[in-house]
Amino acid sequence: MKLKQLSIFLENKPGRLTAPCRELADAGINILTMSLADTEQFGILRLLVREWEKAREVLEKAGHVVKVTDVVAIEVADRPGGLAEVLEAIEKCNINVEYTYAFTFRRGDKAVLVFRFDRPDAAVRTLQTCGINVIGGVELYERSSD
Amino acid sequence: MNAPATDRAATPGNFVIENRLWDRAEALPREQLAALQLERLRACVGRAAARVPFYREAFARHKVSAESLHSLEDLRRLPFTTKADLREHYPLGFLAVPRERVARFHASSGTTGRPTFCAYTAGDVSTWADLCARFLVAGGLRPEHTAHIAFGYGLFTGGFGLHYGVERVGAAVVPAAAGNTPRHIMLIRDLNADVLICTPSYALNIAEEARSQGFGPDMLPLKFGHFGGEPWTEDMREAIERELGILAFNNYGLSEVIGPGVSGECAARQGMHLQEDHFLVECIDPETLEPAAEGELGELVITAMTKEAMPIIRYRTRDLARVDRSPCPCGRTGARMSRVVGRTDDMLIIRGVNVFPSQIEEALLRVEETAPHYLIEIDRPGAMDEATVKVEIRPQDFSDQMSRMQALRERIEREIHSITTLRFHVELVESRTLERSMGKARRVIDHRVSPTA
């Protein structure tokens, strides 16, 4: 149920974000979703792609420092309180959310969010017992190519 | 300067091994030593003036001669010799004996272009062997031992200097030379070597290789190590001793003067005893050229009084160290120099504080197991110097959590501050973005146009 996210260290300078995007594009790899955390001096680019192993190889070959992290994609009801319900379920189990970001696509009345938990396996179990839909890689990548 | 013998006897000796002297001259009372030094200095200046045009002219300009040296204080009236002087008189302008008396040539590794040649007479080669024998014996070498030498041989003075020193003591030499690390482990084990001789960084390589072959410190026959040829730290000593199960001793020398044997540690390991019956050693402020205050960091300036083929007078080594003239419990009367903490070429003055790239490296090593590539940049946008260290991020340093990356950056800043007392701005930069020239990393860019004193 966990997804492999690629993180790349970037300096906060003009043009630095373009390079990895171009390298992936040239390798025919589509970015499903991404987020950028930044400070004044440096940033961390986080990416979800279908072929993460190939993407990692491409990025490392281009000289980037790449980290692979387990993240969880969760369906969240797109209505007031939808996200709060998910977070409340997680909080009860003392699981921390390190960060979260959204997919650009949605399905019906559901939005899809990416979560980085400090304990991803425990988070998946908790969410499933609470009836919250954790989306697996295959399902996610099929949806995104609809 | 001359401490009464009772003071010395009152100091309890804290020796890691038995304290033995190779040569009584090592414990010559200071007064006798001073008399011998003056006699040797005069002879050296006389020979240099007679045979080396560079010195003849320089002495004439400074109005000094052997006869005008009345005390050791007069040493300061003599001109300095610099690396540039040696280069200018390439290849053998400093040779002071007829060519047929030369028994050996060595050379210092020229980082740029030509090497600097150093010539030895048969007498010099013999003196050198004795100087090395002194520190080898002080650091545990006995005639029944086998010494494994993993220094490079050739023009570099490390290999041959220590080789002849070991032979002089009467121990067995394994002239393994540098390179092919796995083979060293086999030789050390199969020939039962007691002593390892190489650079400290190569000792760590050998330790790492031994471990990867499954040999811990208890499975290696080594007991002692004598390391030199490059600056190292107490942390490195601890690592080498732990990994190889040995006692590690430091020695110092430079080929322009003779090679290893200028100084070496005794069993007390509180500094390296300068072999002052052969070398006059000054410690000066590299800016003012005045003597550094007692115990303060300064540039070592060395006069090789007994060198026959190439006497060298007041050679500016560019090595920065402290000299401790207090008596040592071991009974040797030669003053003790500290580890070389840096080179004058590398020294930066930032907001009036002396800083060495090695200190930044030390700070990075406290944060990570191995130091990443880094670059120091100094600028003076207003009235104050601003110092930045750019640190390349490697896979092992990188976390996808921003809080950890911020913590890493702050930790580096803290460690640099604790070592240098200065606030450096730390920038984390992408991997492989800092310039590497000829495999040797550029460590400093100083943007200040004209640094003020």
Contacts of A41 in chain B (CB under 8 A): 427-428
Determine the 3-state secondary structure of B140 from DSSP. coil
Higher pLDDT, A146 or B74: B74
- pLDDT band for B436, please (50, 70, 90 cuts): low
B322-351 mean pLDDT = 92
> What DSSP element (H or E) covers B425?
strand B425-429
Kindly state whether B410 is in contact with chain A, defined as any CB-CB distance less than 8 angstroms.
Answer: no
pLDDT value at residue B9: 37
pLDDT tens sequence across B261-289: 999 999 999 999 999 999 999 999 998 99
Exposure string (b/e) for B268-304, b if CB count within 10 Å is 16 or more? bbbbbbbbbbbbbbbbbebeeeeebeeeebbbbbbbb
Kindly state whether A16 is in contact with chain B, defined as any CB-CB distance less than 8 angstroms.
Answer: yes
pLDDT value at residue B347: 82
- pLDDT band for A143, please (50, 70, 90 cuts): low
- pLDDT band for B353, please (50, 70, 90 cuts): confident
Q: For residues A79 and B243, what is the distance between their CA atoms, to the nearest angstrom?
A: 62
- pLDDT band for B4, please (50, 70, 90 cuts): very low
Higher pLDDT, A37 or B1: A37
Helices then strands (H, E): number in chain B? 11, 23
Select the residue from A42, A59, A60, A66 to test the B interface by mutation, using most B Cβ atoms within 10 A: A42
Q: For residues B108 and A140, what is the distance between their CA atoms, to the nearest angstrom?
A: 65
B433-452 mean pLDDT = 67
Kindly state whether A44 is in contact with chain B, defined as any CB-CB distance less than 8 angstroms.
Answer: yes
A50-67 mean pLDDT = 95
ipTM of the complex as predicted? 0.85
Q: For residues A27 and B402, what is the distance between their CA atoms, to the nearest angstrom?
A: 28
pLDDT tens sequence across A68-103: 999 999 999 889 999 999 999 888 888 999 999 998
Kindly state whether A100 is in contact with chain B, defined as any CB-CB distance less than 8 angstroms.
Answer: no
Kindly state whether A4 is in contact with chain B, defined as any CB-CB distance less than 8 angstroms.
Answer: no
| Domains present along chain B, CATH in parentheses | 1-344 (3.40.50.12780), 348-446 (3.30.300.30)
Q: For residues B373 and B423, what is the distance between their CA atoms, to the nearest angstrom?
A: 19
Q: Rounded to whole angstroms, what are the CA distances from B325 to B208, B249, B261, B370?
A: 38, 20, 19, 36
Select the residue from A8, A9, A34, A60 to test the B interface by mutation, using most B Cβ atoms within 10 A: A9
**Cα angle vertex B69, ends B65, B71, to 5°?**
170
- Strand ranges for B325-424 from DSSP E: 336-337, 342-343, 348-350, 353-355, 374-379, 386-392
- pLDDT band for B178, please (50, 70, 90 cuts): confident
Contact B324, B56 (CB under 8 A): no
Contact B270, B336 (CB under 8 A): yes
Contacts of B431 in chain A (CB under 8 A): 9, 63-65
Contacts of A9 in chain B (CB under 8 A): 393, 398, 405, 428, 430-431
Asked if the model's pLDDT at residue B211 lies above 60, the reply is yes
Q: Rounded to whole angstroms, what are the CA distances from B295 to B13, B320, B337?
A: 21, 12, 9
Contact B249, B139 (CB under 8 A): yes
Q: For residues B41 and B280, what is the distance between their CA atoms, to the nearest angstrom?
A: 8
- pLDDT band for B7, please (50, 70, 90 cuts): very low
Shortest alpha-carbon distance between residue A82 and chain B (Å): 26
Q: Determine whether the interchain pair B398/A46 forms a contact, defined as Cβ–Cβ distance below 8 Å.
A: no
Contacts of A7 in chain B (CB under 8 A): 398, 400
pLDDT value at residue B113: 62
Determine the 3-state secondary structure of B77 from DSSP. helix
Shortest alpha-carbon distance between residue B130 and chain A (Å): 53
Kindly state whether A56 is in contact with chain B, defined as any CB-CB distance less than 8 angstroms.
Answer: no
Q: Determine whether the interchain pair A5/B431 forms a contact, defined as Cβ–Cβ distance below 8 Å.
A: no
Kindly state whether B382 is in contact with chain A, defined as any CB-CB distance less than 8 angstroms.
Answer: no
pLDDT tens sequence across B364-418: 988 887 778 889 999 988 888 999 999 999 888 999 999 999 999 999 999 999 9
Asked if the model's pLDDT at residue B439 lies above 60, the reply is no
Q: Determine whether the interchain pair B400/A46 forms a contact, defined as Cβ–Cβ distance below 8 Å.
A: yes
| Domains present along chain A, CATH in parentheses | 2-69 (3.30.2130.10), 70-144 (3.30.70.260)
Contacts of A44 in chain B (CB under 8 A): 400, 402, 405
Q: Rounded to whole angstroms, what are the CA distances from B213 to A105, B206, B207, B209?
A: 54, 11, 10, 6
Contacts of B357 (CB under 8 A, 6+ apart): B342, B346, B348, B376, B443, B444
DSSP strand pairing (B272-274 vs B336-337): antiparallel
Mean predicted lDDT score pLDDT of chain B: 91
> Considering CB atoms only, which of A7, A37, A41 is closest to B428?
A41
pLDDT value at residue B433: 85
pLDDT value at residue B441: 58
CB atoms within 10 A of CB B341: 17
Percentage of chain B modeled with pLDDT above 90: 73
Q: For residues A40 and B49, what is the distance between their CA atoms, to the nearest angstrom?
A: 64
Q: For residues A60 and A64, what is the distance between their CA atoms, to the nearest angstrom?
A: 5
Kindly state whether A11 is in contact with chain B, defined as any CB-CB distance less than 8 angstroms.
Answer: yes
Supply the pTM of this predicted model. Answer: 0.70
Percentage of chain B modeled with pLDDT above 70: 93
